[in-house]
Structure 1
Amino acid sequence: MDPYVLAAERTVHRIGRRDFDFSHQIAVMAVINRTPDSFFDQGATFALDSAVAACVQAARNGADWVDIGGVPFGRGPIVSAEEEIDRVAPVVRAVAAETDVVISVDTNRAEVAQAAIDAGAAVINDTSGLGDPDMADVIARSGVHVVITHSVGPPRMEKPAARFDDVVNEVREFLVERVDRATAAGVPREKIIIDPGHDLDKNTLHSLELTRRLDEISDIGLPVLAAVSNKDFIGESLERAKPDRLAGSLAAMVMCVERGARILRMHDVAASVDAARMVESVMGWRKPVRLEHNTHPTHNV
């Protein structure tokens, strides 16, 4: 089946204050981490003014969406819910007042999700896939969108080596079950986005296979988010340090789009937006900004 058609059962989505037609549109989500120990930027946007400025600049650079996180997924010191709220809510409030960009908050706690929604977040990006038993109820009552992501066990914890008999089938089964859990709690299906969770409790071979077979996730029939930017599966595939993974990130991003992903969580906004718009142009979803090359008659001199 065609993953372009299956990118979403309902083609046009109103997310926050913007409309997206995923039959011919790709949304670029900028990563903004208000953490001192973030995976990629190592605290560059930890200060409140830096985080807000980064969100606004991402929107100016063409991002459709900003994803604000207060606690990294990987192992590390525990951050209280109160501290996480103090990190993300002021950023959400300030950005919502500055731009109509879609705002999501990356959290696995229902308490933090509620505070983020109250501050103006339109999406909760739950990397635990509704691990908090109260999360689905918060989403259902608020009417916001939710990203349900595959991971294994709670974030921030040391875990055993990743093992799957068939990573794609197991991720797919997890996502289908969690979508059913969300809808049973009252979350409308059209408010759900799914993410296979590249590198989250998976090794490089798992993430490569998820990328290669992403159409098997897309055929669930919900919008698919691909968070591949600067991940370790790219670094290990190419032997590149984090600052040198842009080319690999863009290649993986395009592979995911070809297999049905329509929301791309990326660090380098300008390059990712250019790549996304180029894919849209090649697919015939978007007209060139201008048309001049070989369009004028040749004059013999």
Structure 2
Amino acid sequence: MKLIDGPNIMGIINVTPDSFSDHGLYATTEKAIEHADRLIEEGADILDIGGESTRPGSMAVDLEEELRRVIPVVEALSKRNIPLSVDTSKPEVMRAAIRAGASIINDVNALQKPGALEVIAESNVQVCLMHMQGEPRSMQNNPQYADIVNEVRSFLQHRMDIACRAGIGLDRIIIDPGFGFGKTFQHNIELFQHLDQFTKLNVPVLVGLSRKSMLGTITGNDVDNRVHASVAAALLAIDKGAKILRVHDVKATKDAVLVYNTLNGNPIPRN
């Protein structure tokens, strides 16, 4: 999948009953597909489909349930003219999703599970390698770093090197610093302020700040009232070199990006 020149807006589809942001509104196949079509109409460049919540405190989902949630959605949306990403860490789900039409695997565990590297290496899809300290159920229990920026950057560089040795070319790799995944508020702020350290790794950087708790800490708003804060964070991420914006509010972000690019003398075509 070739990314567009401007920032790519990745619309989120949580096929889960316990998502922190949409409260399970799209937990059925039919609702997820309806939501996907709405995001396409709003201007999404990529759709990211997930069947297992990774919010703080979330519990793991077994393999069969994740396949049941995700694969019918991918199969249905593969008929749409839009790249599909699947948010999973399970090699079996990766393989099934690729067969069903996914062109990106978005892995919060950066291909660390046994067999994950091989699944991606044997395919031609892109992969997003994310940093996470710990696991979702416990990652926010007092995360500690000596140097957050260098530690996260070193981890991602290490995973990139391993992926390349496994036969996954750099042109297929995307990285994500993992805002909110085993990081305190101050860790997230420091990572964002040094986002340029990640763009220097010469692969696309994905930023996922949409509706996250750090925006609630800044604004005092609950998760349902963080659209404006999310859009502001997205524009600042573009300024710092982000190539992919993973967002819930596609229309608001798309409009803001169009204005941002046009006023900066770099208009991009509408979808």
Q: TM-score range by the shorter chain?
A: over 0.9
**Residue 20 (structure 1) aligns with:** 3
Q: Deviations over 1:107-128 (max 9, x none)?
A: 0111111111111100000011
Residue range with higher mean Cα deviation, 165-174 or 29-38? 165-174
Q: Which residues in structure 2 correspond to 1:196-207 (within 5 Å)?
A: 196-207=177-188
**Residue 285 (structure 1) aligns with:** 266
Superposition deviation, residue 135 in structure 1: 1.1
Alignment length (residue pairs): 269
Q: Does 1:247 align with 2:232?
A: no
SS at 1:279 equivalent: helix
Q: Which amino acid aligns with 1:141?
A: E
Distance 1:114 1:249 in 2: 32
Distance 2:240 2:212 in 1: 19
- Match for 1:50 among 6, 14, 31? 31
**Residue 115 (structure 1) aligns with:** 96
**Residue 81 (structure 2) aligns with:** 100
Q: Deviations over 1:78-107 (max 9, x none)?
A: 31111101110000000111x111100000
Residue range with higher mean Cα deviation, 80-89 or 130-139? 130-139
Q: Which amino acid aligns with 2:158?
A: E
Distance 2:123 2:268 in 1: 37
Superposition deviation, residue 237 in structure 1: 1.3
Q: Which amino acid aligns with 2:246?
A: R
* Contact preservation (8 Å) 1:281, 1:288: no
SS at 1:162 equivalent: coil
Q: Normalization by structure 2: what TM-score?
A: 0.95
Q: Which amino acid aligns with 1:183?
A: C
**Residue 41 (structure 1) aligns with:** 22
Q: Which amino acid aligns with 1:93?
A: E
**Residue 293 (structure 1) aligns with:** none
Distance 1:288 1:52, change over 3 A: closer
Superposition deviation, residue 158 in structure 1: 5.8
SS at 1:54 equivalent: helix
Q: Does 1:66 align with 2:47?
A: yes
Superposition deviation, residue 33 in structure 1: 0.3
SS at 1:165 equivalent: coil
**Residue 7 (structure 1) aligns with:** none
Q: Which runs of 5+ in 1 are unaligned?
A: 1-14, 290-301
Q: CA RMSD in A?
A: 1.5
**Residue 298 (structure 1) aligns with:** none
Distance 2:27 2:252 in 1: 23
Q: Which residues in structure 2 correspond to 1:102-251 (within 5 Å)?
A: 102-157=83-138, 160-251=141-232
Q: Which amino acid aligns with 2:64?
A: E
Distance 1:21 1:267, change over 3 A: closer
Distance 1:158 1:257 in 2: 27
SS at 2:3 equivalent: strand
Distance 1:287 1:229 in 2: 22
Q: Which runs of 5+ in 2 are unaligned?
A: none
Percent identical residues? 38
Distance 1:111 1:288 in 2: 37
Distance 1:275 1:82, change over 3 A: same
SS at 1:164 equivalent: coil
* Contact preservation (8 Å) 2:136, 2:181: no
Q: Normalization by structure 1: what TM-score?
A: 0.86
Superposition deviation, residue 20 in structure 1: 2.8
